[in-house]
Structure 1
Amino acid sequence: MSDAKAFRRLETLFHEVEALGPEARKQRLSELAQTDPELHAQLTTLLGGTQAGGAQLLDDLAESSGALLAEPAAMPERIGPYRLRGELGRGGMGVVYEAEQTEPMQRRVALKLARTGFLSEAGRARFLAERQALAVLDHPNIAKVFDAGSTASGQLWFAMELVRGQPITQWVADRGLSLEQRIELFLPVCEAIQHAHQKGLIHRDIKPSNLLVVDQDGRGQVRVIDFGIAKALESADHASSGATRVGEAVGTPEYMSPEQASLGEVDIDTRSDVYALGLVLYELLTGRLPIDPDTVDDASFGELCRRVREDPVPPPSRVALAGPSAIERSALRGDLDRVVLKALAQDRERRYPSASALADDLRRVLACQPVMAAPPTLAYRVGRFLRRHRLPVSLAALAGLALISLTALTYWQAGIAASERDRARIEAQRSEAVVRFLQDMLASVDPAQAQGRDPTVRELLDRTRSSLPEAGLDLQARAAVEETLATTYVSLGEPESGLPLAQAASARLREALGPEHPLTLSAQHAEARFYLYLGHYDQAADLLETTLVGRERVLGVHMDTASTMHNLAYAYAEQGDIERALALDYRQLELVEQLSGPGSEEALVTMSSVAHGLTMLERFEEAVEMFERILEGYRQHLGARHPNTLSVLHNLAYLTRAMGDSEAAEQRYREVIALRREVLGSEHLQTLNSIANLGALLIEQNRPEDARPLIEESLRTRRSILEEGHPDVLASRLDALRLRWLDGRSEGLAEELRALDEQISAVMGNDSDLARLSASFAEQLSARQAR
């Protein structure tokens, strides 16, 4: 170790140990006596003298070692083309200033200037590595480097993007983000680090203060900063610089990987960054790090390193959550625990191999798909099989939930009597029998049994359905299987195949348990939904009315009761009885608010049904008031740019237009179009709906030049992604004809409109809004031609 390096280490330890309490100081010195007796002796001498004597000894050591370690001089006025405005911060390698570039363009930047005494070979190599690292990185979530150079005295500097943001943990805490929002905010961090790894760079100091979030139109965007200790993986220039040597830890202690905490005894690779990402994720979910925060302050550096290397990481769902922004433990159990613990495996061979692999598993969590961190059981193999056949993964979860619900409802019915507990135990055993039966059915996915053949999902379902009579299941268990298979057919888009199974399940439970048993009512509710799927609204309404009476009597104030109200209101609306549907929606809203609280996400969904009912009845002012309440709630729960929030903005624009305020409607449509383009993309159907609606509004205002680009874009894009007979394409074609009429290009227009009107009637019927609009336009055209 060079004299300069030895001095820097001694100086750091002196200030560290000097600040410790008596017990912690004694422990730290004891560790040093074992690991570095010479350094221990020097440090003991320093600490044994007066403060002034210790400082003098440091000065003497500095002079004898040749280490010019003075703090940076007063802030220069200019460096290169940059005028310095003030200090932003300082670290081990230099000072960061806010600066203004004056030529060839004007902009504010962050300028990093190496310390005057930063002359050691390793230190200079690290600064150069940071400068080079940022120069080759090009990612929207990594702060950009603009320029680099050196002063007349040889001080290194570089200018980079000035990021005015909050540490990611602070951003999350201040806004109380939901679990999904936290993961979505974290995913770009993984992508940015993966980009750096692909460029041959390791960050090695990933922590919240280096992950800054800036507000962009109400939505957070992360910027990764400070590659100050980044290591070039394959750079021969830096290989000899000894950027990490035995006995030297690089990084922030609390966010070190076990490899970093080994003090250079183990080489560092990209999986060290994966570990640090896991730590940040852990903190985002729980509000704290795995090491007990109450013990960090008093622990010596050596003790922290030992704990990082050796102490097991507790699952996030089992630690004491810190701060009001932490996610509830129950939401962390299962897959999130598995993902975080895989990222934080002390043996790096068991970690995710890359930052992108971690991100992929988090996306699976958001999509309710099986995660790679879970053991490869049959259930997970089945899940992958279903995804390969484009069947929604929620299908597997739905089947499991159906079975779990059977057990849960039985336990609810059981109460506390001993005989009823025995009954609950029997019901649980029956549910387990159902699970085993379904596992046997899906076992053909196993290559050992499939023997190279890849059966379709439909074949699996049909095979299971035909084997039910010989399955030996009792009435309740067979009903549970029938209900599960019926739901599976719906997921395949074949509700007509599932209806007989749903009917059979409902009948079996009614026979076995009676008409008002919770399981019977649940099966009836499921059967009624098949009638809704198939458009048999009268049958659906009759069965749902019976189910609602039973659920109100048996369950009372319960979400299942609210669910039946919701579906019955839908049936009434499809029958054309909007007033009756709206009255039931109001009852449902009162019940849901009683259960989950006003302004809850469940209440907001119900409020949407109420708002749409008010709109259909042309009670526009009441609808606007309701949608504005929903908008406020969605902004709080989901964020200002969430697709659901944008849908409410779209509805408000429609209502404003319907109320005759064209100017305000245009402004709202333009706002939601801009946001939907950014969030969903220009080819998303919701974006196209807003574009088409604004185009139609401009046609009504006789502004063909303003309407033309909107109408042409909506028609062109809808045709590229939808069939020619899709209602949205038909609507855009009608708008295009109306635009031609405004332009005065009416040749052949009547014939084209007649052919289009026939298509609209065939696809949507004569009572649809589009059919009425087409008929109205035909009358206008005919009247004009008659003149």
Structure 2
Amino acid sequence: MDTASGEDQFQHIFIAALDLSGEARDAFLDKVCRKQPDLREEIEEILATLDPTELTGSKEKRALDIFGFCLDLDREARAMYLAKVAERCAEVREKVDKLLTSHGEAADAEFIEASPMADPEQVPSTGLKANDVVGPYRVIHEIGRGGMGAVYMATRKDEEFEQEVALKILPYAMATQDLISRFNNERQIMANLSHPNIATLLDGGATDDGLPYFVMEYVDGVPIHDYCDFQKLTIAARLRLFRKVCSAVHFAHQNLVVHRDLKPGNILVTAAGEPKLLDFGIAKILRPGSHEPVTLTESGVRPMTPEYASPEQVRGEIVTTESDIYALGLLLYELLSGHRAHRFGNRTEEDVQRVVCDDYPPRPSVVFWERFQIERARGTVVLTPESISEKRRTDPRRMERQLRGDLDNMIMKAITKDPDLRYASAEQFSLDIVNYLSGHPVLARGHSPLYLMQRFWERHQFAMMTTFIMVVMVLLFVVTALVQHRETLAQRRAAEMQRAKAHFVGEFFSDLFAVPQVGGPAGEIPANLITDRAMRRIQEFYPDNPAVQAAVMHTVGSVCLNLGAENQAESIITEALALRREQGEARDVAESLRVLAGIHARRRHFDKAECLLLEARSLTEAEDDQIAALMDGQVLQDLAEVYDGQGRHDLAEPMLWRALAVFHNQDQRDPERVSRILYALISHYQELEKWSHEEVLLKWALEEQIQAGSDEYLVHTFARVAEKLRREGEHARADYFLQCAFDLSRETYGAQHRLARNLEQALREFDETGVAEPEPNDSPLVQ
């Protein structure tokens, strides 16, 4: 079946409606325009100008209106329309003819002479009108014309059954032997093709005058590109619809038929969404087992539609199935991008051949961004990225991403100039579309490892993301469980160690004091006795637990150090350190290093102390927990004292501030430790006679020490405050803080302690001056 575009349909329905009037016209329009109300409205608007009442009044105005409508009509429709105008008012007709003549398009202008296959508008009329009879069929109206005759909508005239059909007949003027042979060839092709997406041949025969005709199912549909736009089909939906067209074309190829005129107007889509392939008028039959077509063309004529023709067709070469693959590529180009790959207009045959055979169109993802203006019978249409993407239910950026890559390459492979590089068959083209829709690699892109990985990821993105999330969750669970298990073991080990130390210390010292002492003042126990007895008991209590041995030895060494037995303390701490190194617990090793460094610092062996503390620092920095951070703060404070002892005050100051930051910023802040570091900072600055920070640090130290209840350091801070006030000439306030320091020292250390006696001596010197005691709140430091 030949069909025309939506514009051709408009022309033919209009011509049929011209011969009708009144209720007959209304019934006809109701039937043929029931799904196209806009089309009916346009036709009735033009027909309304033939109303006699409309032709009265200003003839110039009516002539201008009719002239405007004439420009939208083809030659035949215009001639018939003007004939009706002349019947009603010859004067208006004359005015319209003058306007058309001046416009260069007079209604009686001659057709340009050319092959009857070149332009469907040049196909002669068959002379059939509505209600004419052809065989058992009654003509309703003309549907369209093409290079192989005219097509009418018809119905059977007998009573057996009623069925709307499409009747195709060859006009008298075209009834040459060659065209009759070609017409019968099309009928034979249609008879051999039975496929859901190919229009079905129902009947055939000849008129009483010997003109051949055949009858096909009437396809009530619209061209495929219009259907896709009307329905606003997405890219994926258009691809699925296109696959049905590929199926029909592949079926024809399997039956040795090359269509040779695949274009949107030859593929109608029904209301049910099924495409129907039409018009096998210029199709070729291939010899079985060969791709060489049987020669059926007349000399000098190459029947084709240039915008959808392959290079082989344009050059007049032998046409095979590869030409249909090329046309399918051009069709998909238009369905997806919204633009035709080629637009020729009034170009010469040489221009057409150069463009089709040599020039490649822009890729669909590129041409999509172009703005293009199209002149149609019913107005101007402007193609824009926004309008095109809106008809595909997307936006321009997203649509470009969809076209770029696989779809670009698939289309460009189908329309390559070399037939051997195109898809081998319509089925292969269709299968590549399946690959694209399912996320598999497409044949047109090759199989590079990077591309294969990309498609695998896109195809399994949800599953891979889900798997990845599950793996991460499992890993997090395992890591969390391991960390918690480690913390639990550490806490259990620490608790066991504390119990062991407490038990050992209790038992050891009970036993120690129960033994009669030899030598020395009563109540005093020699340090060597403590260490010797401790080492023996440790071996007895924990022979197979070196970790507990090391912890207990460290505790005993600390006791000895507090008793002033530095030598014994050094010996036992060194042994504990050796055991802890074997156990590999960084915090325990750092703890013993710190105590050992303190012993050397007391002896003013600052270089040895520095080495030990730097080693301890390297261990605490490597650990990432709160306990290690606290240990690191203690090491920093110890290093500052060592640097001060070495006279390297520039290194001591930043160490103290860093230590202060550690203890001050902890979640469980230690006010006592903060107060100690503040006192160390005060002493550091007073040693260097730097007084700028003194008042702030003294206030801060008093607050922290009072909060912590750190009487030991509070005594020293009161004394420091007194020194500051005395230096500033505030003797009364200085005397007050000195008295506070003395009273607190007696409570803390006892009246006979060296610090208490020194403070008492300082107070006597103040009393000799006779200065009165101030009120406590008078001091700005207290405030």
TM-score for both structures, normalised by structure 2: 0.40
TM-score for both structures, normalised by structure 1: 0.40
Larger radius of gyration between Structure 1 and Structure 2: 2
